[in-house]
């Protein structure tokens, strides 16, 4: 999408493009289409190219040399050098000779080190007016005939600016690229060249080399005749422009040699493994590579090179009204998905998981175990196969384990990592980095673990391995399933029997699933215990739909007249059904059918219809049972008649965001009387208006306000909804299926 305000004057006076190859001519046509320059001037030595470019309207004016137009150029004019990499220095020399220092210059070469060096040599020092650039776009086609105005759309352009002095030049180049649809990022020249050597240059040389090898084999016609999809996929880029790639090979020599050496070493080892029939090695390499490809698949499909600087921000624009009817199978339970990977990895044998939640949180757990050497196949449509390594089979990860946004990952993992022979470090995103970890570090330390946190008790967690853990009897000060699970998982590695007593019932998936893996866990009222030193044996796990995700659609139906929603196969573990109890008490019509037990967990289909809701005092004993569902329950409260009062829920203040404050602020913005208290909230039901609310990067806040749209009088914009992907990646489609009208807007920050 163009950032240029409609009807505004072109931002560039004259856009001069030297070299009308694929990139140059595509930039010319894109700039013309967007009205970004008063005049687009094309420079090429070939008259036929210029004629074609003029005829097809790609440029306004044609010139055969820079010299012929240089005297006209001044501040606000932009010269783009689009010639092959090895020719760029001679064009820079022309620029030096003919251009005023007010004229902005950029280039599009795939290598930056040699270009920057040439510019510095020619000018004496790198000139402020020069902003080196590289659009990561192209195709195996070349020339002005292939010009494509969409070529840069959603593709990354890397600029390697070299100082603060050339701000206005940088701004001009950066705005040009973003206006033709590109995602602009900046990095150092060295970083650029190393990254591109690995991700772009190497694949091209491999493709050229493979095709050339096969082409020189005796009867190569036969080989090519039978070459199928794999060959075609792998070698498409061997049809690229040889001049361009010769230039790149020579211009980025050092970085390319370094990555080629690594690949050649790996080739040698692979050859050895094939020669020796080393099945394990082959299986390891192929699985690791396939998993990495799948893991990065989303990024690769995005076509662009990703980086945190240019992460797109997602907002929801929720239109007022809409139906709430239909049947939706919400994704797999997050708590159980985490635990299935953890226990499956520590078990002996292969565990098959179905219904696994492919959300960012559970994928963070999955990735952590891969980083510790566990082979995990999938996920593919919710199916994961874990090649368990046993309680003592994990390997030291090469780098800190990144837990993203996920409190469950970091807290549960800290327990089982405290018992390992190796050191680990656990890190997370900005939200996780502010969450309290003392609650797990304290009991672990009293078991003998050595575990460091930041001075205020938050991540990163640094766990020193090789400690002998001893069992404890732990009375938990907070009702937290994460703490309980952490201590029990550490207990697997401790001498003796570890017991945990909770002040109120919390979700018991760890206890149930450990039993499913054949490990004895005794539960007596509020105390669970287990004895260390046993073993887990692999099993099959069918993860039911997550009641915490279902809750959004339960409230959707509860607040929308004439609604009727069915949510099949939802987990209704008694420690999770606070949302059902609370909604029923408020007057919602809710029924369960097809109740059954799947792999030790109760499951049912839930049907919910509109009911006139009334405000209630939420019973304190329901708080731990509905701990994740409060954001959306507050929306129900806002639509209810009368006042809803929540107390005893201070835990909500330390979730992915301070959920009491986040919700109170958003509700007030929408015109509801909502008052945060130290341990809860008081909400007076009323008319919901439209407005702009913040999700505070909290998935459940974002989805809760999206549901509010069903009863709002105006449009609601929810800012910062990226983290919905942590627990409910397909939320938008599921919401649309029941009749919500949500538009997703993406912005580059």
Helix residue ranges per DSSP H, 504-571: 509-516, 547-559
- CA 327 vs CA 208, 547, 568, 583, 606: distances in Å: 52, 14, 7, 19, 10
DSSP string for residues in 356-408? ---SHHHHHHHHHHHHTT-EEEEEETTEEEEEEE-TT-----SSPEE-TT-HH
Can you list the positions of beta strands (E) in 562-666?
Answer: 564-571, 589-598, 601-609, 643-646
Residue 628 annotated as catalytic:
yes
Only one of the segments 254-262, 469-477, 479-487, 533-541 lies at the binding site for ligand S3P (rule: CB under 6 A); that segment is 479-487
Number of residues that bind ligand S3P (CB under 6 A): 10
* Contact flags string 603-632 toward ligand S3P, x per CB under 6 A: ------------------------xx----
Which bin fits 562, alpha (ψ -120 to 50), beta or left (φ > 0)?
Answer: left
Within residues 506-525, the interface with ligand S3P by CB under 6 A covers 507
The residue among 638, 636, 678 whose CA lies nearest residue 658 is 678
Which residue out of 193, 605, 628, 658 is catalytically annotated?
Answer: 628
Least distance CB 59 / ligand S3P (angstroms): 57
DSSP string for residues in 52-67? HHHHTTS-SEEES-SH
Only one of the segments 1-9, 110-118, 119-127, 474-482 lies at the binding site for ligand S3P (rule: CB under 6 A); that segment is 474-482
- Residue 335 makes contact with ligand S3P by CB under 6 A: yes
Number of alpha carbons in the 13 Å side-chain half-sphere of residue 721 = 27
- Give whichever of 185 and 335 is closer to ligand S3P, judged by the CB atom: 335
Please identify which residue in 34, 482, 723, 726 interacts with ligand S3P, judged by CB under 6 A: 482
Give the chain's largest Cα–Cα span.
Answer: 90
Least distance CB 121 / ligand S3P (angstroms): 58
Only one of the segments 66-74, 192-200, 293-301, 477-485 lies at the binding site for ligand S3P (rule: CB under 6 A); that segment is 477-485
Burial class (CB in 10 A: 0-12, 13-18, 19+), 213: exposed
* Contact flags string 380-409 toward ligand S3P, x per CB under 6 A: ----------------------------x-
Least distance CB 506 / ligand S3P (angstroms): 6
Give the separation between CA 340 and CA 365, rounded to whole angstroms: 10
Within residues 437-466, the interface with ligand S3P by CB under 6 A covers none
Only one of the segments 181-189, 240-248, 476-484, 537-545 lies at the binding site for ligand S3P (rule: CB under 6 A); that segment is 476-484
Please identify which residue in 137, 461, 481, 551 interacts with ligand S3P, judged by CB under 6 A: 481
Does residue 24 contact residue 17 with C-beta atoms inside 8 Å?
A: yes
Number of alpha carbons in the 13 Å side-chain half-sphere of residue 373 = 14
- Give whichever of 291 and 651 is closer to ligand S3P, judged by the CB atom: 651
- Give whichever of 183 and 627 is closer to ligand S3P, judged by the CB atom: 627
The SS3 of residue 455 is coil
Burial class (CB in 10 A: 0-12, 13-18, 19+), 619: middle
Least distance CB 340 / ligand S3P (angstroms): 12
Least distance CB 306 / ligand S3P (angstroms): 27
Please identify which residue in 128, 160, 480, 722 interacts with ligand S3P, judged by CB under 6 A: 480
- Give whichever of 77 and 658 is closer to ligand S3P, judged by the CB atom: 658
Rg (CA), the chain: 30
- Give whichever of 609 and 722 is closer to ligand S3P, judged by the CB atom: 722
- Residue 700 makes contact with ligand S3P by CB under 6 A: no
The residue among 615, 531, 602, 599 whose CA lies nearest residue 571 is 602
Give the separation between CA 14 and CA 399, rounded to whole angstroms: 49
Only one of the segments 8-16, 373-381, 475-483, 657-665 lies at the binding site for ligand S3P (rule: CB under 6 A); that segment is 475-483
- Residue 485 makes contact with ligand S3P by CB under 6 A: yes
* Helices 630-639, 659-669: inter-axial angle, 10-degree rounding: 30
Only one of the segments 44-52, 193-201, 448-456, 480-488 lies at the binding site for ligand S3P (rule: CB under 6 A); that segment is 480-488
* Contact flags string 631-660 toward ligand S3P, x per CB under 6 A: --------------------x---------
Give the separation between CA 745 and CA 749, rounded to whole angstroms: 12
Summarize as ranges the residues that interact with ligand S3P (CB under 6 A). 335, 408, 480-482, 485, 507, 627-628, 651
Q: Which residues are marked as active site?
A: 628
């Amino acid at each position: 999408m163009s950032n240029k305000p409609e009807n505004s004057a072109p931002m560039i006076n004259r856009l001069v493009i030297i070299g009308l190859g694929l990139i140059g001519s595509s930039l010319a046509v894109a700039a013309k289409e967007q009205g970004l320059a008063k005049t687009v001037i094309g420079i090429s030595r070939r008259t036929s190219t210029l004629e074609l470019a003029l005829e097809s309207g790609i440029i306004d004016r044609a010139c055969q040399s820079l010299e012929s137009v240089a005297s006209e150029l001044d501040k606000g004019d932009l010269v783009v050098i689009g010639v092959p990499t090895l020719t760029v220095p001679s064009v820079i020399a022309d620029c030096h000779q003919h251009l005023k220092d007010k004229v902005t210059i950029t280039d599009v070469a795939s290598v930056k080190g040699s270009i920057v060096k040439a510019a510095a040599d020619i000018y004496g020092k790198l000139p402020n007016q020069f902003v080196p650039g590289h659009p990561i776009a192209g195709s195996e086609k070349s020339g002005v005939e292939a010009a494509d105005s969409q070529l840069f759309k959603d593709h990354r352009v890397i600029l390697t600016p070299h100082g603060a002095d050339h701000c206005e030049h940088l701004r001009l180049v950066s705005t040009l690229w973003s206006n033709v649809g590109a995602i602009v990022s900046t990095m150092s020249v060295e970083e650029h060249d190393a990254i591109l050597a690995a991700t772009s240059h190497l694949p091209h040389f491999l493709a050229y080399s493979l095709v050339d090898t096969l082409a020189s084999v005796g009867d190569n016609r036969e080989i090519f005749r039978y070459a199928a999809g794999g060959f075609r996929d792998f070698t498409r880029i061997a049809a690229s422009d040889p001049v361009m790639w010769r230039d790149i090979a020579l211009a980025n020599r050092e970085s390319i040699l370094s990555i080629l050496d690594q690949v050649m070493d790996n080739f040698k080892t692979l050859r050895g493994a094939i020669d020796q029939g080393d099945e394990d090695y082959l299986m390891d390499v192929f699985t690791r590579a396939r998993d990495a490809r799948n893991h990065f698949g989303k990024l690769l499909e995005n076509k662009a090179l990703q980086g945190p600087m240019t992460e797109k921000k997602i907002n929801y624009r929720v239109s007022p009204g809409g139906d709430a009817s239909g049947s939706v199978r919400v994704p797999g339970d997050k708590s159980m998905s985490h635990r299935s990977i953890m226990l499956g990895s520590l078990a002996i044998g292969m565990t098959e998981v179905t219904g696994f939640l492919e959300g960012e949180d559970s994928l963070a757990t999955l990735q952590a175990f891969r980083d510790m050497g566990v082979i995990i196949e999938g996920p593919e449509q919710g199916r994961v196969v874990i090649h368990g390594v046993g309680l003592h089979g994990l390997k030291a990860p090469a780098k800190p384990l990144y837990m993203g946004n996920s409190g469950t990952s970091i807290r549960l993992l800290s327990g089982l990592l405290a018992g390992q022979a190796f050191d680990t470090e656990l890190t997370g995103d900005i939200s996780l980095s502010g969450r309290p970890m003392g609650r797990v570090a304290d009991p672990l330390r009293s078991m003998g673990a050595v575990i460091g946190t930041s001075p205020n008790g938050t991540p990163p967690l640094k766990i020193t391995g090789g400690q002998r853990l001893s069992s404890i009897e732990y009375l938990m000060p907070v009702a937290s399933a994460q703490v309980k699970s952490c201590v029990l998982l550490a207990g697997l590695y401790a001498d003796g029997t570890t017991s945990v007593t909770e002040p109120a019932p919390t979700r018991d998936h760890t206890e149930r699933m450990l039993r499913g893996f054949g490990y004895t866990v005794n539960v007596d009222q509020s105390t669970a215990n287990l004895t260390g030193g046993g073993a887990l044996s692999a099993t099959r796990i069918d993860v039911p739909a997550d009641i915490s995700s279902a809750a959004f659609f339960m409230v959707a139906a509860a607040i929308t007249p004439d609604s009727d929603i069915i949510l099949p196969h939802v987990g209704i573990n008694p420690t999770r059904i606070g949302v059902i109890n609370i909604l029923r008490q408020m007057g919602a019509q809710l029924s369960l059918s097809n109740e059954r037990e799947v792999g030790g967990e109760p499951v049912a289909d839930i049907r919910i219809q509109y009911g006139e809701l009334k405000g209630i005092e939420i019973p304190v004993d329901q708080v731990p049972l509905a701990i994740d569902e409060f954001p959306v329950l507050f929306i129900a409260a806002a639509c209810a008649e009368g006042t809803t009062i929540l107390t005893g829920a201070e835990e909500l203040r330390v979730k992915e965001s301070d959920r009491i404050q986040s919700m109170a602020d958003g509700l007030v913005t929408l015109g509801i009387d909502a008052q945060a208290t130290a341990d809860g909230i008081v909400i007076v039901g009323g008319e919901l208006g439209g407005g702009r609310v913040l999700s505070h990067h909290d998935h459940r806040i974002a989805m809760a306000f999206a549901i509010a749209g069903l009863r709002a009088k105006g449009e609601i914009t929810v800012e910062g909804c990226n983290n919905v992907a942590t627990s409910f990646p397909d939320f938008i489609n599921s919401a649309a299926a029941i009749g919500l009208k949500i538009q997703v807007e993406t912005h580059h920050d």
